[in-house]
């Protein structure tokens, strides 16, 4: 069962179970328990992070060189798509001129190649050994193979930070955001993109997604860290990406010394956000529906046995009348 009941973002113990199910995450089966924090609105996976990190590293180690090459090429394509969207707000990004960019969660280096192609001096941070090794040895890129922490980079040393579907994999997202702020030069930019918790389906649930945001909650957290939001980027329509992205500025007059006040593991009480406004019931139904059918009805193909605890069994939805079933699909696809 779950290992912790404290919210990853604000540290509150005031949480409720949204969904509890058994799933073949890795071998052996794990209980997938998603909790909703009733204080800040984060949805988080109630699982021992050290266990998860070990299995993630094992999983990545199994990837062949061919698989890593395909993975890297996909990353490059996705990054080019993101850069295309970012450039509409920040045309300057298309000319790196040797400026420093860091990709936190660099995977197999595809994003670094996309930035290098535009003239950026690109560095990656990647915790998993296999992709980091591939990026260094096969692609000749600069990749630090370690967890991203405050000590990873020098303060105020980075012009552009790129965090593409990484934050949701981390156990202390607020600390990571304040580290982003610390490492950026004043006047530097951050692009952060995560999946939308409301799009969770059977593929994504438990797949290392331990800290899940709504767009509104992420927006509030970025502002709490001192970032100015240039614009939200809705990239949910793209084939492989399904989340809100935010292009942010660290203000040129930022007083980094004041960061000592906000640099903590959890969102400090004085920054505590109001309830993020998502109805727990709506989220719960959405998770349940996603677990069984998946948005768009295409995701229900997981081979592991499922066992839903508190809403009944896998067959429960079949007992719903066709009319109600159609209504449910309509509601959750919109
Ligand atoms: Zn919380």
Strand order in the sheet with 228-234: 142-144, 121-125, 100-104, 158-164, 184-193, 244-249, 228-234
Residue 98 has pLDDT above 70, yes or no: yes
Q: Is 104 helix (H, G, I), strand (E, B) or coil?
A: strand
d(CA 231, ligand 1 centre) in Å: 25
Q: Is the pLDDT of residue 320 over 70?
A: no
The pLDDT of 168-194, averaged and rounded, is 94
**Cα–Cα dist 44/213, whole Å:** 9
Between the CA of 222 and the centroid of ligand 1 the distance, in Å, is 15
Determine if the pTM surpasses 0.85.
no
Residue 153 in this model has a pLDDT that exceeds 90: yes
Distance from the alpha carbon of residue 303 to the mean position of ligand 1, in angstroms: 33
| Mean pLDDT computed over 238-248 | 75
Q: What is the pLDDT of residue 333?
A: 47
Q: Which residue has the higher pLDDT, 305 or 243?
A: 243
Of 148, 126, 131, 133, the closest CA to residue 74 belongs to 131
| Rounded mean pLDDT, 20-24 | 63
Q: Other C-beta atoms within 10 Å of 328: how many?
A: 17
| Mean pLDDT computed over 167-176 | 92
Given a cut of 90, is residue 96 above it in pLDDT? yes
Average pLDDT over residues 134-161: 96
d(Cα 268, Cα 104) in Å, to the nearest integer?
24
User: With bands split at pLDDT 50, 70 and 90, how would you rate the model's confidence at 151?
Assistant: very high
Task: Pinpoint the alpha helices (H) of the chain.
Answer: 49-61, 65-87, 110-116, 129-137, 173-183, 215-225, 259-262, 280-292, 322-333
- Residue 158, helix vs strand vs coil: strand
Question: Please, what is the average pLDDT of the chain?
Answer: 78
pLDDT at 214: 85
Q: How far is the CA of 247 from the centre of ligand 1 (A)?
A: 24
* C-alpha 297 – ligand 1 centre gap (Å): 31
CB 46 within 8 A of CB 212: no
**Residue 217 pLDDT exceeds 70:** yes
Distance in Å, CA 12 to ligand 1 centroid: 5
Beta strand pairing call for 228-234 and 244-249: antiparallel
Adjacent-strand bridge partners of 233: 245
Nearest to 167 by CA among 245, 269, 86: 245
pLDDT at 132 over 60: yes
pLDDT at 302 exceeding the cut of 50: no
Burial class (CB in 10 A: 0-12, 13-18, 19+), 265: middle
Cβ 216 vs Cβ 276: under 8 Å = yes
């Amino acid at each position: 069962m779950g290992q912790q009941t404290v919210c990853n973002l604000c540290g509150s113990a005031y949480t409720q179970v949204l969904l509890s199910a058994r799933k073949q995450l890795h071998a052996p089966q794990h209980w997938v328990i998603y909790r909703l924090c009733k204080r800040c609105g984060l949805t988080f996976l109630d699982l021992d992070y050290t266990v998860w990190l070990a299995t993630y590293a094992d999983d990545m180690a199994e990837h062949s060189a061919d698989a890593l090459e395909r993975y890297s090429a996909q990353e490059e394509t996705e990054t080019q798509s993101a850069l295309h969207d970012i450039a509409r707000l920040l045309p300057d990004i298309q000319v790196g001129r040797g400026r420093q960019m860091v990709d936190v969660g660099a995977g197999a280096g595809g994003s670094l190649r996309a930035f290098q192609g535009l003239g950026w001096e690109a560095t990656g941070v990647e915790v998993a050994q296999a992709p980091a090794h591939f990026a260094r040895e096969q692609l000749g890129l600069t990749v630090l193979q370690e967890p991203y922490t405050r000590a990873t980079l020098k303060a105020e040393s980075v012009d552009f930070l790129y965090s593409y579907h990484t934050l949701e994999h981390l156990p202390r997202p607020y600390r990571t955001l304040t580290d982003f702020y610390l490492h950026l030069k004043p006047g530097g930019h951050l692009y952060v993109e995560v999946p939308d918790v409301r799009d969770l389906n059977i593929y994504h649930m438990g797949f290392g997604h331990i800290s899940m945001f709504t767009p509104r909650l992420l927006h509030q957290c970025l502002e709490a860290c001192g970032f100015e939001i240039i614009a939200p980027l809705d990239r949910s329509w793209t084939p492989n990406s399904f989340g809100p992205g935010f292009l942010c500025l660290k203000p040129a007059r930022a007083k980094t010394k004041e960061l000592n006040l906000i640099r903590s593991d959890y969102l400090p009480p004085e920054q505590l956000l109001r309830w993020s406004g998502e109805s727990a019931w709506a989220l719960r139904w959405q998770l349940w529906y996603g677990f069984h059918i998946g948005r768009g009805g295409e995701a229900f193909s997981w081979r592991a046995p499922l066992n839903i605890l508190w809403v009944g069994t896998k067959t429960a939805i079949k007992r719903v009348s066709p009319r109600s079933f159609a209504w449910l699909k309509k509601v959750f696809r919109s």
